[in-house]
Amino acid sequence: MAQGFRSGFWMRRKIVLSDLRLSLRKNAVLGLVGPNGAGKTTLIHLLTGIKRPISGEVLLEGKNVLDPRVRGGIGYLPERPHFYEFLTGRAFLMTLGAVSRMDRESLASRVPLLLERVGLKQAADRELRTYSKGMLQRIGIAQAILHSPSFVVLDEPMSGLDPRGRTELKELIRELAREGRTLVMSSHVLEDVDELCDQVALIQGGRLEHLTEDDERWREREEHSEFEVWAGGARYSSRGGPELHQTLSGLIAGGSRITSVKQVRRGWEGSIHVD
């Protein structure tokens, strides 16, 4: 995938991202790191369908992210969010929910919970113009997850948060992943990314320089997958990883002929392909 911008008198196209190929795992957190101007926000704009790549495509569970129906399943915290200053935190979330056609009842029960979750319960009925930077960041995070999106993209979510806010946000991000969501976040704080992310992509000079995977969590996911094994006319089910190994060696040792091994549930799945 590639992306560029036309600028200057001749409107020459400057390529800011090129040869980018990336697969995200479902249920995992991908961290984007890289120096200022590396292309993280540009990549996030492509992942959320805000910008169209000049070549390649972004697929979310096989569907193009530019499709409005697909975009409805994405939650997004921009790098520089825009707020309606004269709305209260609560009214802001209620308004956004109404715009994205959430039904009033579920909205009325969800908004207070969400405000509490991001630590804004006390400030819920204050106008956003009276919020501090960190409080605005928190309400921005709340709006990103308001409609329970399965894909959540956060552009520098930790920026402006105090130590307690960072700890709480990390816990929230972990919770979102545990709930089965896929997350992408950019950050300049390597410790945060290291602690939180299952995959880390280093973007430098518009290229993907490096992608790491957390072996431990990879193994955990493997163990959460389920297999169906047919041997000697009988069906056995087994988790992946060492349990599958044990099941198979037990059957073989018992003299059964294994006729098929099929993965019936994946602990993780490459859900987004960026080509």
Ligand X SMILES: Nc1ncnc2c1ncn2[C@@H]1O[C@H](COP(=O)(O)OP(=O)(O)OP(=O)(O)O)[C@@H](O)[C@H]1O
Residue 36 in contact with ligand X, rule: CB under 6 A: yes
Residue 98 CB partners (closer than 8 Å, separation 6+): 104, 107
Taking a C-beta distance cutoff of 8 angstroms, is the pair 210, 40 a contact? Answer: no
* Cβ nearer to ligand X, comparing 79 with 228: 79
Residue 157 in contact with ligand X, rule: CB under 6 A: no
Give the Å distances, CA to CA, from 58 to 125, 144, 158, 234: 39, 20, 25, 42
- Cα separation, 187 vs 201, in Å, equals 11
The 69-108 site mask, x for binding Mg ion (CB under 5 A), equals ----------x-----------------------------
* Cβ nearer to ligand X, comparing 170 with 188: 188
- Cα separation, 3 vs 75, in Å, equals 22
Residue 41 in contact with Mg ion, rule: CB under 5 A: yes
Residue 7 in contact with ligand X, rule: CB under 6 A: yes
Window of 31-39, 100-108, 169-177, 235-243 that interacts with ligand X by CB under 6 A: 31-39
CA dihedral 50, 51, 56, 57 (to 10 degrees): 10
Give the Å distances, CA to CA, from 3 to 18, 102, 152, 220, 274: 7, 33, 21, 35, 12
As measured in angstroms, the least distance from the Cβ of 43 to ligand X is 7
- Cα separation, 124 vs 193, in Å, equals 29
As measured in angstroms, the least distance from the Cβ of 222 to ligand X is 32
39 binds, among ligand X, Mg ion, none (CB under 5 to 8 A by kind): ligand X
Residue 158 in contact with ligand X, rule: CB under 6 A: no
Positive or negative, the Cα torsion across 172, 174, 175, 180? Answer: positive
Please select the residue that binds ligand X; options are 26, 27, 33, 42, rule is CB under 6 A.
Answer: 42
Residue 132 in contact with ligand X, rule: CB under 6 A: no
Window of 39-47, 192-200, 240-248, 261-269 that interacts with ligand X by CB under 6 A: 39-47
* Cβ nearer to ligand X, comparing 7 with 249: 7
# residues contacting Mg ion (CB under 5 A): 3
Window of 38-46, 52-60, 159-167, 248-256 that interacts with ligand X by CB under 6 A: 38-46
Nearest in space to 45 (alpha carbons), one of 15, 14, 3, 12: 3
**Tokens 């169906």 belong to residue:** 228
Two tokens, residue 102: 């959430």
The 65-104 site mask, x for binding ligand X (CB under 6 A), equals --------------x-------------------------
Name the 3-class secondary structure at 124.
Answer: coil
As measured in angstroms, the least distance from the Cβ of 92 to Mg ion is 23
Name the 3-class secondary structure at 30.
Answer: strand
* Cβ nearer to ligand X, comparing 37 with 112: 37
Identity of the amino acid at 95: T
Nearest in space to 147 (alpha carbons), one of 185, 183, 66, 93: 93
Instruction: Give residues in contact with ligand X (CB under 6 A).
Output: 5, 7, 16, 34, 36-42, 79
Instruction: Give residues in contact with Mg ion (CB under 5 A).
Output: 40-41, 79
